[in-house]
Each structure stands twice: as C-alpha cells, then as structure tokens.
Amino acid sequence: MSTLPDAILEVKSLRTVIKDKHRELTIVDGIDFTIGTNEVVALVGESGCGKSMTSLSIMQLLPKSGAIDHGEVRLKGRNLVGLKKREMARVRGRQIAMIFQEPMTSLNPVLTIGTQMTEGIRKQLKLTKEEAVTTADQWLKRVGFPEPARIRKEYPHRLSGGMRQRVMLAMAMACKPDLLIADEPTTALDVTIQAQVLDMIRNLIQESEMSVLFITHDLGVVAEMANRVVVMYAGQIVETADVKAIFMEPLHPYTRGLLQSTPKMQGKLEKLVPIPGTVPAVGQYPAGCRFADRCPVAIAACKEALPELRERSPGHHVRCIRDLGGIS
C-alpha cells in the first residue's frame, strides 16, 4: 500500500499476538495503513475483528499477554515499536492522545476532574499549576461547559456519560496532539448526546488541524466524520478507500454486507439484510479467505488460499479474488 508524502502515522505489516503458556494467538495480522496530515481515517468492522487491539498496539497499551510480534508503527517517521516505557510515555498525550468507549474506565473515580486534567497538562506541557488550571478551564469551555471551575471540582461519578466523554475529549485535546485515536467514543451514549459529541469532535478537528483515527462499527458516523475508510475483518484489512468510494462502490462482500445491514433514515424503507454467522474465533481462522464461510458469492477457490490485499483502482485496495474479477 502506498505511503502518503505527508503521513503522520504509518502502520506497516503490523502483527500483534496474545501469548500464554500453551499457545500464541494472532489478533492483528499484518495490517498496513497510513494517516495523512489533517486526515480522518475510520477503522471499521464488527466486534472482535481487531480494531481496538490495533489502537492499543499503536499506543503500546497492550495487556501483559500481548505483544507486537512484527511490523512498524511510525509517528512522523519515528518507529514507536521497541521504544522504552519512559520514551513511549512522553509520546502518549503529547503526540498521540486517545479517548475510549466508556470514559468511566479511563477516569480515576477517587480524583477530581481538575486534578486529573491538570496533572496531565503539567506533565506534558511543563506548565505551572496556575497555568495548567487556566488551560484546563479553556478546554472545558471549548467542549461545552460554561462553568469549568465547577466541573473541575466534581468527581467522575457525579457527571453523566456525555459529560464524562466531553471531559475526556478536553483532556485529550489540551496537550494539542498530532494524532487523536477515538475508539468508539459515542457507542455508550444516547442518540442525542452522540450527535453533540460528534459535532464537538468535528469542530475541534477543524480548529486544531490534527489527524484522527476514528474506530467505529457505525457507518453513519463514518459518513459524517471520515476522509478515508479502512475495513477490518478477522484481524486483517479487507478493503480501504476514500469514504465516497466505500459508500458508492464497495468492492469486498463484507463491506457490502455492512452497508446492507445499516438502517437508512431517508427515502423509502428498505429491508435490512444481516450478515449470517459470526466472526471466526481468534486463532481458528480458515486457510483461505476468512470471510468465505459467511460470503454470499464465495466459490471453491476462496477457501483454498488467503487472497492478497491488492489495488483495484488508485487508492482503492481490496482483499477478494471475486472483486478483482468482478462480482456479478
């Protein structure tokens, strides 16, 4: 896959494994993608396809049993794989920030919002306590809190889910990172709050001119937020293209299945077509195409050998022998 000349993040042949005494399971299997300056790339797929493990690999926040077995993660040309813990700690927050699906798992329940915000700001930006408080208040205002001083004094459990997610967004943005990783940041919120949080993220992206890796299974969010889309299935990338091509001319049967199973709010009502079956269990992948058992257009050759990710048209890559020959 080609590299963007102004790439902020380059993920090359990344392979992440989970090990125990008896076996080694591949969670992320040889993925490649690039994020350019000021670009929003959506990483899409069902639960269990490897999206979150990809983000944790980039951040070097894998569980103790996890490890990057092969490949590179380059941030502005610098390979993060193999960095010492202290070096990587300086990268997190200052150069790469991350917000998670459920902010209560990221916020310390026994510390006030202000303590948690100012600690990170002081550490990353080398500011005084007073300067850190001023910066925290500025960002809390920017994410919609008219009384930031009051919010700083609150504990996480005193805030709603939407308020906690806005606090996490303010914490992530306060250090002005080059790259924001948003891992399903609106999934745990109701529809109205989802829309508000997405509007805030979109506005902050435009104002700060940073790059974003937006991880989601919601294609409606993808249409609103992304410039390019990377579709993952069973630990591998199966399709990648700009957002218009993904919606107008999806080439992989899995991408088509995701689109057909997504409700549409405008026009006449259409019957949703679910994708049969489930994602194969980690480590129990078939020899051929990993989607073949669920694919409506699979042929015998699909089950014989794993297809390569190949470029069908400029910037549009797909892992499917049927698409390369044309699906009737």
Residue 210's pLDDT band, with cuts at 50, 70 and 90, is: confident
Q: Virtual CA dihedral for 31, 34, 39, 43, nearest 10 degrees?
A: 0
Work out the angle at residue 104's Cα, subtended by the Cα atoms of residues 103 and 106, and round it to the nearest 5 degrees: 65
Q: How far is the C-alpha of 123 from the C-alpha of 71, rounded, in Å?
A: 30
- The confidence score (pLDDT) of residue 265 equals 60
- The confidence score (pLDDT) of residue 217 equals 86
Residue 323's pLDDT band, with cuts at 50, 70 and 90, is: low
Q: How far is the C-alpha of 30 from the C-alpha of 314, rounded, in Å?
A: 21
User: pLDDT tens digit string along 103-160?
Assistant: 778 899 999 999 999 998 998 899 999 999 999 999 999 998 999 999 999 999 999 9
Q: Please tell me which residue, 35 or 207, carries the higher pLDDT value.
A: 35
User: pLDDT tens digit string along 220-242?
Assistant: 889 989 999 999 999 999 999 99
- The confidence score (pLDDT) of residue 134 equals 96
Q: How far is the C-alpha of 310 from the C-alpha of 257, rounded, in Å?
A: 20
What is the percent of the chain where pLDDT is above 90?
65
Residue 266's pLDDT band, with cuts at 50, 70 and 90, is: low
Query: Mean per-residue pLDDT for 291-299?
Result: 93
Residue 68's pLDDT band, with cuts at 50, 70 and 90, is: very high
Nearest to 237 by CA among 309, 310, 315, 326: 309
What is the percent of the chain where pLDDT is above 70?
95
Residue 48's pLDDT band, with cuts at 50, 70 and 90, is: confident
- The confidence score (pLDDT) of residue 325 equals 43
- The confidence score (pLDDT) of residue 209 equals 80
Q: How far is the C-alpha of 33 from the C-alpha of 42, rounded, in Å?
A: 11
- The confidence score (pLDDT) of residue 5 equals 58
- Can you list the domains of the chain with their CATH numbers? 7-95+177-325 (3.40.50.300)
- The confidence score (pLDDT) of residue 326 equals 43
- The confidence score (pLDDT) of residue 328 equals 36
User: pLDDT tens digit string along 71-108?
Assistant: 999 999 999 999 999 999 999 988 999 998 877 788 99
* Residue the block writes with tokens 């993952």: 232
- The confidence score (pLDDT) of residue 190 equals 81
pTM value is 0.91
- The confidence score (pLDDT) of residue 274 equals 85
Q: How far is the C-alpha of 11 from the C-alpha of 40, rounded, in Å?
A: 15
Q: How far is the C-alpha of 73 from the C-alpha of 87, rounded, in Å?
A: 14
